[in-house]
Structure 1
Amino acid sequence: MASSKSKLSLREDLTCAICFELFKDPVMLDCMHHFCRTCITSYWRTVRSPVSCPQCRKQFPSKHFQTNYLVAGLVDKVRASSSSASVKYLEVCTKQLKDCLESQRSVKDSYVKMIHEDKEKMDKIKRIGADLQSRVHSDFQALHNFLRAEEENMMEELRREQEEMLSGLERHLEALQVAMRDVEQNINTLRQTASSVQQSVLVELPELNSRPPLQELQININAFRSKRIAPLQYIIWRKMFQHLKPGPAPLKFDEDTAHPSLQLSRNKTQVVESDNMTNYTCNTKRFLQCVNILATEGFQSGSHYWEVDVTNNRKWDLGVALESANRQARVKLCPENGYWTLRLRNGNQYSVGTQPWTPLNVMTSTSRIGVFLDCEESKVSFYNADNMELLYFFSGGPREKAFPFFSPCLSERGQKAQAICILHSPL
């Protein structure tokens, strides 16, 4: 700091009082003040004799000055020193500016990239949104069409039944009216005949209008009403359930893939761990190391959904397995090994079969698990089928034939083995 101040003071001492710059060819007057030769010469031209010092106003008899080589040397040194410092300062400034410019360019490039990526994401979201809206509209349109057709059919059936009953009653009413006229005519004829008899006139019994007697028309109005006063929404829902695409697939367990300690129900929709190993034939389809089993039907196109009842089970593995997955060795159930699974441990610890396991925060326990396989999109999704809450989905699902996968897992010591059951309806 002191050096900087001394340099500044020296520069001031070597500055011309006329042009306020460093001396150029400095000369000294008799009063010992210094000026640039050109500056003092020009100044004295503008004044009348006697000439004087521009700084102290001392007058001189003549225009006399002498070159001061010492001051000239100092000026050269100061000018050289200032020039070197300026160069260094400019170099530092230039580097700082260059670094700052590069930094700003880098920031700009990153912003340009992010803007491009955001625009691509926006376009992608719009495309996906349009596709999803089309799918949602199509699915609801199918339901609307089904409900509309059911309503039209039911209304037409109702109108037909009503028309048949009304037409029957109208015909019966017309017949009754005709019969009534005949009876009234017979009554009048008989009255006239009775009057003749009272007057002691012998008369023959008149010929009366005779028709077969009409019976009361039996129409069960209560049955007509009760047929329509029914759990209509539930009835229609049961019919609509058969048309859902995809609806719960009527899967069955494939006993040829079952681990020997698994026991199947007669209808092949329920499986439970057994203490007794069953006799089995050795084949590449069968699981031998883990208590796993597949469904009989595999999928490699379309979309498919199925539900599994896991009530009271404290541990299980569910999902999808490639047809080519290794079933003879004990492997981790993850996509790298051909498995896309969701698992439960200790009754409340849910996790996804990834490397490593991905824990899930499931707030409410589930009694039914829904599995959705979209072969066209290569996606596997898991739902809490009690409320259809999405639990997890794999975006990179199987790209070849895959089978529904199930494992009731080995039961804990002292605990009763619990069965898992494939559901064919949501009830």
Structure 2
Amino acid sequence: MRYALQGLRAGEVDDSLSKNHIQPIHQNYRPNTAVKQENVLGSPNLVPQTNTPAVTQLMGARVKTERKASQMGTNLDKTLGYSDFTTSSLTPTVTTQMNLPSPQPTVNERSDSFFQTPQCFQQTTSKSRRALDFSTWEQQNVLGSPNLVPQTNTPDGTQLMGARVKTERKASQMGTNLDKTLGYPNFTTGTQERMKADLQQEIDVRQDRMVEVRSSERACRNCLDAEWLQINDVFSSVMKLVRDACQKALQPLEDRRREVEREAESLVQNLQREIATLEQAIGELNNNSGFQVSSLTSLETNIDTSLSFGTLRAATSTMMSEIQQELEKLTLVELRRIPTFAVDVKLDPATAHRSLLLSPDGKKVQSGNNTEVANTAERFDMFGCVLGLNSLISGRAYWEVEVANKSGWDLGVTRRSANRTGKLVLNPDNGYWVAVHYEDKKYAAMTAPPVRICLKEKPKKVGVFVDYEEGLVSFYDVTTQSHVYSFTECSFADEIRPYFSPHHQNEKNQNPLVICAA
């Protein structure tokens, strides 16, 4: 202000400010509130989506509240005596403040007066860029001056100030609700930190899952590789046995072929010598008509072409025995696989013979008298047998039965529709695929006719595995990890159920059959 008023007296300040010096600057001034509205609400990149009725209502209420707050702020400024820096009010305000007594000193003599230029304008040197920053002036000289602190002790000022604060708070709250409705995030420092922590936690969880997946993949691959090597070794040994047996079966033929070749070569050489002798005799006769030809030995040209070989049964039998021993090594692989298909088998009391006693949990069966039950079509009426409650119409199943200290038992599966009354003939044609232990040391597979099974040890626990689609029923000695017998190419053609018989023979066979967990 000092450079604008230099050389003028106090009485000349009013006209100079109003006519020449302040007017151009004031015409370019725009309130801060309008600029803020233009940058925020008028930006094409920040236009909120107001397609929903709720959003439209919130925005309308927010605009009305902000306008009301602005109007109340204007009224409060007037009440408190704040200067309204508009074109119409600027000159009177300055004139009032500069109404000085006579004699009027020059402005230069009052360097510390009200019109002293603020510190921020002292660096301006170009007259073309001299301008008054009214916002800065207001902050530094009106609001910041201790002599111009607004008086809010009046009732009207206090009331307007409180109403303005409440209205601005309400507008701020409505803006927050509108931002939530429009989906604008509240990017406070605490919220950002929580979001970062949550996102990092999600990253950590996924990284842990990646480690688990890789670990599971390695473990599975190691199991597959180990099983692949074991199976490959077995079949490599089987192929070696086959090659050896083949070589052994072909060796007599090879020997005989060489013998025949030697005999034929010997005969051919003898014949060639005799031919040469005869040709020589012909030449002598041509030269000497009285030449006497000596008699030749009898001609023998017969070759023994008989194939006096024995049968191949011995070689093939030995080969099959050795192959079977090698294939038994695959039992370990099978016994590692089949427990995956274990089922919880329980006995069906509605099918049990009256001479059998079942445990309450349906896991044990032994000989006894149960006269309280009635004979039905589902119940075995002659043989002491019982079926399981479980049924199989597809897939695979496996269960184990304790058979220790027993001199006889039956285990297997049967068709649901198989005959259960009268004398039973246990074989696949009648719907029974059963392995039998009898007379304490004998075992047989109930085929047609039955096949004797030779076991090195008496089983204590027998595992039964069924593959419905493959048509397979296999029995295993779980204790010795060995294969007992398998029915193959079974035609079930119906629902099948587990089959049990504890063999009520004598007091030595009183121990129960116990279905145990696989």
Give the TM-score, by structure 2 length: 0.36
- Structure with greater proportional helix content: 2
User: Which protein shows a greater Rg?
Assistant: 2
- By percentage of residues, which structure has more strand? 1
